[in-house]
Amino acid sequence: MLQAFVSEGIKPFIDGVVTFGAGHFYISQSDKGGLVFGGDIDGYNSYAQRGNLPVIEDVCEGGMALMPRIGRVRLLRHWGGIMDMSMDGSPIIDHTPVQGLYLNAGWCYGGFKATPASGLCFAHLLARDEPHPVATAYRLDRFARGAVIDEKGMGAQPNLH
């Protein structure tokens, strides 16, 4: 499960998405001025769709380590939900064995940050029925071929992504 957070609206100071790999924290600012942020997934499987305090604490610590100035901003809401995770933590952008059925899924917790690039690659796939050069590694058959993407050096272990 992944939790996301939204703060009260403040004056613009983030014009893109900022990620903090050392603490696994990501943040952007909405058009209404709210900070939208999150962090790591829960350490166990759950379909409860509600948050838990250890993850809230971890996300807030990551945010404070990266941007101490956000510590005085009030949190308006947070929520939790299940994630569509692939076995290697990377997305799948490919056609399926079913004629005319295409897949853009398995983004784990990085999907909203990669939406523009994902849309471009997916549109290319739909228009030409061949993967975009940027997305050739994200084929569905990579699992059967044993060509999983190992960006973190952890292998195909979804509990570690």
| Residue 22 confidence (pLDDT) | 78
Element (H, E) at 122: helix 115-128
Average the pLDDT over 78-98 and give the result: 86
Q: How many CB atoms lie within 10 A of CB 88?
A: 24
Find out whether 92 and 140 touch, Cβ atoms under 8 Å: yes
Calculate what percentage of the chain has a pLDDT beyond 70.
89
For residue 100, is pLDDT > 80?
A: yes
Domains of the chain: 2-81 (3.30.9.10), 92-160 (no CATH)
Distance of CA 123 to the CA centre of its chain: 20
